[in-house]
Amino acid sequence: MLKASPSPGLPSWSTGTTNGTTTNAAGQFVLSAAADATLQVSFIGYETQKVAVGGKTSLTIHLGEDTQDIDDVIVVAYGTAKKESFTGSAAVIKSENLEKRVVANVSKALEGQVTGVQTTSGTGQPGSDATIAIRGFGSLNASSSPLYVVDGIAYSGTISSINPEDIESITVLKDASAGALYGARGANGVIVINTKRGRDGDTEVSFKATLGVSSRAIPNYDLVNQREFIELTWQSLYNSAYFTSGYSDAAARTYASSRLSGTLGAGYNPFKNYSWADLVDPATGKVRADAKSAYNESWIDEVTDNAAFRQEYQASVSGGNSIHRGSMSLSYLDENGVLKTTNFQRYTGRVSYDTTPRHWFAGGMNANFSHSKSNSNRYTGSANSNVFYSAQLMAPIYPVYMRDAETGALLLDENGKKQFDYGSARPQDSNTNCIAGFYDDPTSNTTESLSARTYLTFGSDDDKAGWLKGLKATLNFGVDYRTSNNMSYFNPYFGNQASNGGLIEKNNYR
């Protein structure tokens, strides 16, 4: 005999056989089974139970309610809603899905996770925010950034200050009805973040270490080498003389060879055993086979780090009982970028406490502190100072570092270090060296943030509340405080501020 909530239609059968039946209106069933058989009873919304017969002729089986999965609950403004009763457009990302993404910024954890959400990361700077568009780009000038809500309160801090490992779930409210209670602030969609808290049960202590490297996902374009570049330049000079100026074939070939020095720079011939005038065989238009290059520096290799190291360490402790629950976590992240000299470091600490001293009263608080520092590259966009842009367009005959014009040997400074060649004698892109900007013109940002949330809830879902069961009132209070210090240095010798004797910019924000 089965005893549960007296629901008819509960399927029951003997495992490993085809013997089965359903319960009657009183929640009872009769089934013929072997003495050593195992009965399986299941029902939607309840946990499936397997019970050994053990030679008994009468059994009482209790089905417990199945724990509701987080995907069936959606966090909305001022509360939660069951998925089947929710009419808006929303998506939930669980903590286990977040843990699979090795990212420094929560916003980048949304990439490819939610339909209808466009996520782009253009700069590649470690720790930088992703650009998120939930409802598309509604304006050319106005912001399309969504509203972030952390633990029930709109968040005004930097999203990079939140450790993804501290997040329990992320709910993306995508349409107007889902985020209506946030008003105009939710016009671009709402991202609701719930952080992890202590739970009733034994104390849990965990430690996690993550080590890895980053590299370019797509290989670089095929670029011409020194020989090919010189031959193409010679061919362009020949074409100009022969087709445009009307030179004879022989005269055009002589002209092309004589103009290489002025076109490419007298001191930038990498093949030191030939002069510019004799380097290319005029009969074939090819660099002579026995020409030997004194140097062959790859600008793009000097830009990128194909084994950018990343390390992250996290420790947490949580636990509690039916009245008191708490958690605490600490983390450290050090991530180098694929673009050399770029880096992001972050220290975070989070603590939470919840208490339910009475069935009609609950309260709690949580606080998060973050200290981060990033070293970035200011040269972005499509200008020549953009390192990726310039490194791929820079001719391979031009060295990254200063070299002797006669031998091609490196010219070291008084400390024995290599010196950047800013190309003062280059016929094109003179007085610039995009790679030197990494080291001679550093930019850094240091940010400290403190975020705190507290709540008081009056009301209960307990049967003891009587006719007030389900009626709740919650008071929320939160504060976000942030300081940011930016420093940019421009060297006084070369580059953008050489004519002004250099420049140092410092900005402080609160």
Task: Read off the CATH number of the domain in which 125 is found.
Answer: 2.170.130.10
Q: What is the 3-state secondary structure (H, E, C) of 141-200?
A: CCCCCCEEEECCEECCCCHHHCCHHHEEEEEEECCCCCCHHHHHHHCCCEEEEEECCCCC
Burial class (CB in 10 A: 0-12, 13-18, 19+), 414: exposed
How many other C-beta atoms are found inside a 10 Å radius of the C-beta of residue 186?
Answer: 21
Write the pLDDT tens digit of every residue in 396-441: 999 999 999 889 999 999 999 999 998 888 888 888 888 888 888 8
Write the pLDDT tens digit of every residue in 270-316: 999 999 999 999 999 999 999 999 999 999 999 889 899 999 999 99
Q: Considering the domain boundaries, does residue 389 fall inside one?
A: no
β-pairing, 131-133 vs 190-195, is: unpaired
How many other C-beta atoms are found inside a 10 Å radius of the C-beta of residue 103?
Answer: 16
Per the confidence metrics, is the pTM higher than 0.85? Answer: no
Clarify whether residues 55 and 12 are in a common domain: yes
Clarify whether residues 50 and 112 are in a common domain: no
Contacts of 474 by beta carbon, 8 Å cutoff, 6+ apart: 78, 455, 456, 457, 458
Contacts of 423 by beta carbon, 8 Å cutoff, 6+ apart: 398, 429, 430, 431, 432, 433
Q: Residue 50: pLDDT above 90?
A: no
Q: Considering the domain boundaries, does residue 326 fall inside one?
A: yes
φ/ψ bin of 193: left (φ > 0), alpha (ψ from -120 to 50), beta (otherwise)? beta
Clarify whether residues 128 and 188 are in a common domain: yes
**Alpha-carbon distance 383 to 109, whole Å?**
30
pLDDT, residue 77, reads 62
Give the amino acid at 137: F
Clarify whether residues 147 and 76 are in a common domain: yes
Q: Considering the domain boundaries, does residue 170 fall inside one?
A: yes
Contacts of 491 by beta carbon, 8 Å cutoff, 6+ apart: 440, 441, 497, 498, 502
Domains contained in the chain, number: 4
Write the pLDDT tens digit of every residue in 272-283: 999 999 999 999
Clarify whether residues 327 and 455 are in a common domain: yes
Structural domain span for residue 45: 1-66
Clarify whether residues 360 and 406 are in a common domain: no
Clarify whether residues 75 and 60 are in a common domain: no
Task: Read off the CATH number of the domain in which 34 is found.
Answer: 2.60.40.1120
DSSP 455: E
